[in-house]
Structure 1
Amino acid sequence: MGLDLRPHTRNRHALVIGGTRGLGRATVRALASEGSTVSVIGAHAARESDKKIDGVHHWAVDISHTGQLLETLSEITQVNGPLTNLVFFQRYRGSGDAWEGELEISLTVTKTIIDHTAENFYPSADCSIVVISSIASNFVATEQPLSYHVGKAGLGQLARFYAYSLGPKGIRVNSVSPGSVIKDESKDFYSKNPQIENLYKSIIPLGRMGTSVEIANVVAFLCSPKSSFLTGQDIVVDGGISLQWHESMARNLVLGEGVSVTRPTDVRVR
């Protein structure tokens, strides 16, 4: 059998939870550009420009209200048909208790949605679930609370559990752990603090920070039949920064030691 490079997204239906900003928004655009029908659940109404994208449908829902969430999930499958893909980007952004809120939104809501939709995936199709974790599941990000770390670590194990239990149904489950990424919402911060981006460039093996589009492309790949034998894995997308031992990184920054890397003068992301 030869290599199959044909598009595989016709008649596919992806549901993206938390798809109105940042990486989620970029993923919605990536999936839609490949021909999928995309249903989006977000806490707020979509931007006007996003409402104009062909094949994308938005629902503004408070996902912490289980009854409202389940009603919306039923409505989505009635409107756009059975799911082939399910992607989770949501995180807690409330003003209440961070521990309870983060674990509810990151873990409980994800479990609730998977349990509710697993029987409603498109039969006899390559189906896939992708949860967005973080390299903070293995490290400590001091700008994030404990609940964030526990939630992200829990998502990785959740993905592995469901990969095993849903495999017989033909549903693959993987997680993606992004590294340092420039998003629409963070562009101004890095432009005002170029020393931070320059530091990242000096310690990331690829010599630059990632982009929302690059994360979205990985998610789109995991949603496609091109990854049809890939399940239960965590895909780290960090430009290689997690490969370097911390002591080596410190010595390289302070003393200039380490592997010499020749970088191109013009790195373009396509």
Structure 2
Amino acid sequence: MEDMENMHNTAITYQGLLTGKVAFITGAGRGIGAAAARLFAREGARVLLAARTEDQLKSVTEDIRAAGGTADYVVCDLADAASVRAAVDRTVEVYGRLDLAFNNGAVAQRPVPLDELAEAEFDHVTAVNLKSVWLAMNAEVAAIRATAGTGAIVNNSSIGSLRANPVLPVYGAMKRAVNSLTQSAAVSYGPEGIRVNAVAPGGTLTEMVRDWDEATPGIIDHMKSVTPLRRTATPEEIAEAAAWLLSDRASYVSGAILQVDGGAGA
């Protein structure tokens, strides 16, 4: 009888996937980044949101706080090196540590072949989609070393990085470079207990994809037709994959480029 009472009184409590962690998220004002910020907070993390548009950041931050989460934000221009470093430093100023980072922010290119892209646009895509990731990772590794000691970083790539990408050639090239940085960093910092992975989303209903569909009508329908699940992803589904990779449940996963594409890359 006593054993039965003990069993009855033993509650199974759910601990959030990221409980006790501090997470930094770029591109957090909308799309996958905003979904990630909300999810990470629900899973117990204290989050610092970074993006260029303050009203979007403020809105997402207020939503998280209203739901009982802990969030703050910093305006950050990913094309500006000092701004990227300052955003990471701000996380440590606000929360005293850094455990996790999701480098999600990116800019699209016009859907044209490489010879039709202006040099200035090439430089901008490179600065935001590649250089800012390198800058952020440098600052994140330093912050993790100085505070939490160990941690995890996830970079947002694309399935367009894993094959020819003739319509978005520079975007694809920068994302492929992000894959390389991810794997190199995983090898460099693994001995310190810092894991580095990437997610490679397939067609996902973000503002970027909707804009692409407006410029090239039928793109979303095409994405669905070449995806075995016959649909696009929601930003929340990509965020779930990033959350798992950042969590201790993925403790032996490092250097992975995780395709989250409904089977499109199979």
The TM-score bracket by the shorter chain reads 0.7 to 0.9
Q: 1:123 aligned to 135, 138, 148, which one? A: 148
Q: TM-score by structure 1 length?
A: 0.78
Return the letter of the residue paired with 1:41.
A
Task: Return the offset for 1:225.
Answer: 0.4
**Deviation digits for residues 125-170 of structure 1 (CA, Å, limit 9, x no counterpart):** 5x110001111112234442x3212100000000000000010111
Shift in CA distance, 50/149, structure 1 to aligned 2, threshold 3 Å: same
8 Å CA contact retained: 2:154, 2:196: yes
CA distance in 1, matches of 2:129, 2:218: 32
1:7 aligns to what? 16
Q: 2:61 aligned to 51, 71, 88, which one? A: 51
Q: 2:105 aligned to 80, 90, 98, which one? A: 90
2:3 aligns to what? none
1:156 aligns to what? 179
Shift in CA distance, 46/12, structure 1 to aligned 2, threshold 3 Å: farther
Task: Return the offset for 1:101.
Answer: 1.5
CA distance in 2, matches of 1:200, 1:112: 32
1:74 aligns to what? 89
1:8-27 pair list within 5 angstroms: 8-27=17-36
Return the letter of the residue paired with 2:99.
T
Instruction: Note the residue ranges of structure 1 that are not aligned, 5 or more in a row.
Output: 244-270
1:60-71 pair list within 5 angstroms: 60-71=75-86
Task: Return the offset for 1:200.
Answer: 4.4
8 Å CA contact retained: 2:23, 2:46: yes
8 Å CA contact retained: 2:84, 2:135: no
Return the letter of the residue paired with 2:90.
E
1:262 aligns to what? none
CA distance in 1, matches of 2:175, 2:211: 26
Return the letter of the residue paired with 1:17.
T
Q: 1:206 aligned to 213, 229, 237, which one? A: 229
SS in 1 for 2:47: strand
2:200 aligns to what? 177
1:229 aligns to what? 252
1:20-39 pair list within 5 angstroms: 20-39=29-48
Return the letter of the residue paired with 1:120.
A
CA distance in 2, matches of 1:79, 1:163: 27
Q: TM-score by structure 2 length?
A: 0.79
Range with bigger deviation, 177-186 or 161-170: 177-186
Q: RMSD of aligned C-alpha atoms?
A: 2.8
Identity of aligned residues (%): 25
1:42 aligns to what? 51
**Deviation digits for residues 225-251 of structure 1 (CA, Å, limit 9, x no counterpart):** 0100000010001111222xxxxxxxx
1:140-151 pair list within 5 angstroms: 140-144=164-168, 146-151=169-174
SS in 2 for 1:97: helix
2:136 aligns to what? 113
CA distance in 2, matches of 1:8, 1:181: 23
1:135 aligns to what? 159
Higher helix share: 2
8 Å CA contact retained: 2:129, 2:174: yes
8 Å CA contact retained: 1:206, 1:240: yes
Shift in CA distance, 136/124, structure 1 to aligned 2, threshold 3 Å: same
CA distance in 1, matches of 2:99, 2:125: 27
